[in-house]
Amino acid sequence: DRQTPPPKAPIVFVGSSSFAFWTDVKTYFPGKPILNRGFGGSELSDALHFADRVILAYTPKQVVIYAGENDLAIGNKNAVDVYRLFVQLFGKLRRAQPALPIAYVAIKPSPSRWKLKPEMDQANRLIRRYLRRQRNAAFIDVVPVMLDPATARPKPGIFKSDSLHMNAEGYKLWAELLRPVLR
CATH topology of domain 11-178: Rossmann fold (3.40.50)
Tell me the C-alpha distance between 84 and 123, whole Å.
10
pTM above 0.85, yes or no: yes
Q: How many CB atoms lie within 10 A of CB 99?
A: 7
Contact 42, 19 (CB under 8 A): no
Q: Which of 43, 40, 52 is nearest to 82 (CA)?
A: 43
Tell me the C-alpha distance between 62 and 103, whole Å.
8
Q: How would you write the pLDDT of the chain (183 residues) with one tens digit per residue?
A: 888 889 999 999 999 999 999 999 999 999 999 999 999 999 999 999 999 999 999 999 999 999 999 999 999 999 999 999 999 999 999 999 999 999 999 999 999 999 999 999 999 999 999 999 999 999 999 999 999 999 999 998 999 999 999 999 999 999 999 999 999
